Amino acid sequence: MKPLVAIVGRPNVGKSTFFNRMIGKQLAIVEDLPGTTRDRIYGDSDWNGREFTLVDTGGLDLGESDDITRRIRAQVQLAIEEADVIVFIVDAGSGITEADTDVADLLRRSGKPLVLAANKADNAKRRQEAVDFYELGLDEPITMSSSQGTGTGDVLDAIVEALPPSEEEPEEDAEHPRVAIVGRPNVGKSSLVNAVLGQERVIVSEVPGTTRDTIDTVVEHNGHQLTLIDTAGIRRRGRVGPGVEKYSVLRATRAIERCDVAVLLIDATEGITAQDVHIAGAIHEAARGVVVVINKWDLIKAKRAEHRLGLAPPLEDEPPDAQEFKETVKRDLKFLPYAPVIFAAAKTRYHVANILDAALKIAEERTRRIPTAKLNEVVKSAMLRHPPTHVKGRTLRVYYVTQAEISPPTFIFFVNEPELLHFSYERYLENQLRQAFGFEGTAIRLRFRQRERREKGEE
């Protein structure tokens, strides 16, 4: 689990410029997929071999308050609660402002590891004047210019130095699958975890120290063990306030990284919201397995019964039935066509066992290996039936396909020219692989590599 580094500071001091410079490289290779978050406020970075996740709290929507001081305070509070290290950015051009002093007080009292960065120190004069920031009483200000890229290495050095010692990652590749329960606040994550813990045998409960924002529990279901990654855990201890919604997406994303299968909870009474789509996009992007759970289905059933009996208030629409809801899922989460959809009620334990069944089945699907001969047979006949179109007089040729990895199943296509591949043809090939081999409930990856020129040369 990567430590979390939060950037705080007044508007316009250069937080997002710094953030983009730090993760720009990674952003550029993010695939352009529907449902994925474009306006990223968090991303991974590394320096001297230490990896961490960076959050730009300035990008968080912390409510409507026009009061700048209050908005910054909310950012800082969240950073203090969630982050391992806080980078406080001030503006070397403007000097200390009242808001800076206010933030400095909060940070000093929190005792959180801190890096004070004086940005916009573009020239020697400003670098000298930055000594004024000693007055904040927060250790040494490090000068940088995010737009020029100078001094940012020193800031990174300081961040890495302030990080908690890198704990040996716990053995994460235990044989049993890891299942993360994710979703927006109030969709029923805690209720589902409680339902599972109430009906399945708990082998190891609340593994401490593995992460700071999730709780792991090993349970047994039908003779199979699985690790439950509970992202709701922290909220039971903590508070709910502005910005928690956004942080919950971040937390979900971090749990997704660690899981084999994500159980994505959706509140049936609210339909599919933008936030749900963001989390679903993160699951797909990470190529994890996924079960879509439409939770609180008991409420929908009750409403539909009212309508049938004529007890519903006039003008009230009848809620969708399962088939109609499935159509909505198909439309709104169309990048997850492979995900099973389960209608459930955590509160009454309705279909909770089915969720675990599905998660275990998907984890197994992810570990399947397709023999190379069979794979090539399927791809060859798919291409004969529906050949790729010509691009500027040239045609994609696939020489050879092999499954390079499991979890997620990853297929390498050795081709004449990867640029000749059209995304619709890639989708066609993926569908053909799924038709032949299944992989229900999990993303699979298709990689296209130019074939080596030297036929017999080593890789």
Provide, rounded to whole angstroms, the least separation between the CB of residue 237 and ligand GDP: 12
Closest CB to ligand GDP among 358 and 415? 358
> Minimum CB separation from ligand GDP for residue 453, in Å?
45
Interface region with ligand GDP, contact rule CB under 6 A, candidates 36-44, 114-122, 356-364, 425-433: 114-122
CA pseudo-torsion sign 239, 244, 245, 247: negative
285 near ligand GDP, rule: CB under 6 A: no
Stretch of residues binding ligand GDP (CB under 6 A), selected from 280-288, 341-349, 416-424, 443-451: 341-349
Within 13 Å, how many C-alpha atoms sit on residue 258's CB side? 26
In the complex with ligand GDP, the residue whose CB is nearer, 191 or 442, is: 191
Q: Is 57 in the site for ligand GDP (CB under 6 A)?
A: no
Other C-beta atoms within 10 Å of 256: how many?
23
Among 152, 214, 217, 295, binds ligand GDP (CB under 6 A): 295
Distance CA(159)–CA(90), nearest Å, equals: 16
Closest contact distance (angstroms) between CB of 346 and ligand GDP is: 4
**Minimum separation from the CB atom of position 348 to ligand GDP (A):** 6
Complete DSSP assignment for 328-375: HHHHHTTT-TT--EEE-BTTTTBTHHHHHHHHHHHHHHHT----HHHH
Q: Which is nearer to ligand GDP, 83 or 346 (CB)?
A: 346
Q: For residue 428, what are the contacts with CB-CB under 8 A and spacing of at least 6?
A: 382, 386
Residue span 120-139 as binding mask against ligand GDP, x where in contact by CB under 6 A, dash where not: x-x-----------------
Pick the binder of ligand GDP from 1, 5, 6, 15 (CB under 6 A).
Answer: 15
Q: Who's near 453: CB < 8 A, 6+ residues apart?
A: none
Pattern of binders to ligand GDP over 198-237, x per CB under 6 A? ----------------------------------x-----
Q: What distance in Å separates the CA atoms of residue 345 and residue 295, rounded to the nearest whole number?
A: 5
Cβ-based neighbour number of residue 200 at 10 Å: 19
Sheet with strand 445-450: strands edge to edge: 398-405, 410-415, 445-450
To ligand GDP, the closest distance from the beta carbon of 126 in angstroms equals 9
Q: Is 143 in the site for ligand GDP (CB under 6 A)?
A: no
Shortest gap between Cβ of 437 and ligand GDP (angstroms)? 34
Closest to ligand GDP by CB, 232 vs 333, is: 232
CA distance 5 to 85: 5
Grouping H, G, I as helix, E, B as strand and the rest as coil, residue 73 is helix
Beta bridge partners of 4: 53
Q: Which run of H or of E encompasses 228?
A: strand 224-230
Q: Which stretch binds ligand GDP (CB under 6 A): 80-88, 219-227, 345-353, 413-421?
A: 345-353
How many of the other CB atoms lie within 10 Å of CB of 379? 19
Toward ligand GDP, which CB reaches closer, 214 or 403?
Answer: 214
- Considering only 179, 228, 329, 345, the residue that binds ligand GDP (CB under 6 A) is 345
CB 228 to ligand GDP: min, Å: 13
Cβ at position 330, least distance to ligand GDP in Å: 22
Q: Reduce the DSSP state of residue 434 to 3 states and report it.
A: helix
Q: Which is nearer to ligand GDP, 58 or 141 (CB)?
A: 58
Candidates 76-84, 118-126, 286-294, 388-396: pick the segment binding ligand GDP (CB under 6 A): 118-126
Contact flag: residue 141 with ligand GDP (CB under 6 A): no
Q: Total residues contacting ligand GDP (rule CB under 6 A)?
A: 31
Helices (DSSP H) in 47-113: which residue ranges?
A: 68-82, 98-110
Residue number, 186 or 225, with CB nearest to ligand GDP: 186
> Nearer to ligand GDP by C-beta: 186 or 354?
186
Give the distance from CA 42 to its chain's centroid: 10
Our finding on whether 55 is near ligand GDP (CB under 6 A) is no
Task: Give the Cβ contact number of residue 433 at 10 Å.
Answer: 22
Across 345-376, b (16+ Cβ under 10 Å) vs e yields bbbebbbbbebbbbbbbbbebbeeebeeeebb
Nearer to ligand GDP, 23 or 421 (CB): 23
295: its two tokens: 């939770």
CB contact set of 49 (below 8 Å; sequence gap of 6+)? none
Residues forming the site for ligand GDP (CB under 6 A): 9, 11-17, 58, 119-120, 122, 145-147, 183, 185-191, 232, 295-296, 298-299, 345-347
